[in-house]
A and B are shown apart, each in its own frame.
Chain A
Amino acid sequence: GAGVSQSPSNKVTEKGKDVELRCDPISGHTALYWYRQSLGQGLEFLIYFQGNSAPDKSGLPSDRFSAERTGGSVSTLTIQRTQQEDSAVYLCASSLFSGRYSNQPQHFGDGTRLSIL
């Protein structure tokens, strides 16, 4: 079956522009995660959606970053007024319901490589 799909795979944009990154999770997965991997750095949690619950936005680095998940499926990560330090690979993952007492393996997309000039 189809895995987690992210688009675009690569995005180059000028500093100050807004960008939208898209994630299509695996069908039936209620949990969706966004991560960031900067060059030479480890993975960093950004935001987590679980069903209709309020998202955990505690990893978003600034108010220029926002994300939404429409209809419990597709998610969009938006970065406004991009800065050079936003250059990174943005990874999306999805899983079956996952909570404090019910961990599930996460399935990762191939990521969007974002370059800010």
Chain B
Amino acid sequence: KNEVEQSPQNLTAQEGEFITINCSYSVGISALHWLQQHPGGGIVSLFMLSSGKKKHGRLIATINIQEKHSSLHITASHPRDSAVYICAVAPNTGTASKLTFGTGTRLQVTL
């Protein structure tokens, strides 16, 4: 079993829909990262959080440390949101920056 599991693996939505991507992990963490990888391959850091909730524009990330679960929400989705969204965790032991990654959720938003 992977230490970081994401669901769904693939997601297709129509423009305007509310989208939720889930991430569950099995290790103790000091932080959780959400990353976005566009078709060209570039990776952008969206959020880093260790508790509660963060919001940036139409993106919202939440984390529940007790349940070892995080969600990434996209409100009013748009075709430009089409990308792979990756969850990664930084462990709370050893080298905290040694991230363990989920396999990603491929999102396609259509008109």
Contacts of A48 in B (CB 8 A): 95, 97-98
Q: In the assembled complex, how far is the CB of residue A27 from the closest CB belonging to chain B, in whole angstroms?
A: 18
Scoring B residues 89 to 103 as 1 if CB is less than 8 Å from chain A, else 0, what string do you get? 010111111111111
Whether the Cβ atoms of A42 and B96 lie closer than 8 Å is no
The residue in chain B whose Cβ has the minimal distance to the Cβ of A33 is: B97
Contacts of B96 in A (CB 8 A): 98-103
Whether the Cβ atoms of B97 and A42 lie closer than 8 Å is no
Asked if A41 is at the interface (CB within 8 A of a chain B CB), the reply is yes
Asked if A110 is at the interface (CB within 8 A of a chain B CB), the reply is yes
Which of B18-26, B44-52, B72-80 is the interface stretch? Answer: B44-52
CA distance A58 to B90 in the complex (A): 15
Whether the Cβ atoms of A103 and B41 lie closer than 8 Å is no
Whether the Cβ atoms of A56 and B95 lie closer than 8 Å is yes
Q: In the assembled complex, how far is the CB of residue B107 from the closest CB belonging to chain A, in whole angstroms?
A: 16
CA distance A110 to B33 in the complex (A): 18
Whether the Cβ atoms of B101 and A42 lie closer than 8 Å is yes
A56-107 contacts to B, CB under 8 A, are: 56, 58-59, 89, 91, 93, 95, 98-107
Whether the Cβ atoms of B30 and A103 lie closer than 8 Å is yes
Asked if B27 is at the interface (CB within 8 A of a chain A CB), the reply is no
CA distance A44 to B46 in the complex (A): 19
Whether the Cβ atoms of A103 and B48 lie closer than 8 Å is yes
Known: A41-B103, A43-B88. A103 touches B97 (CB 8 A): yes
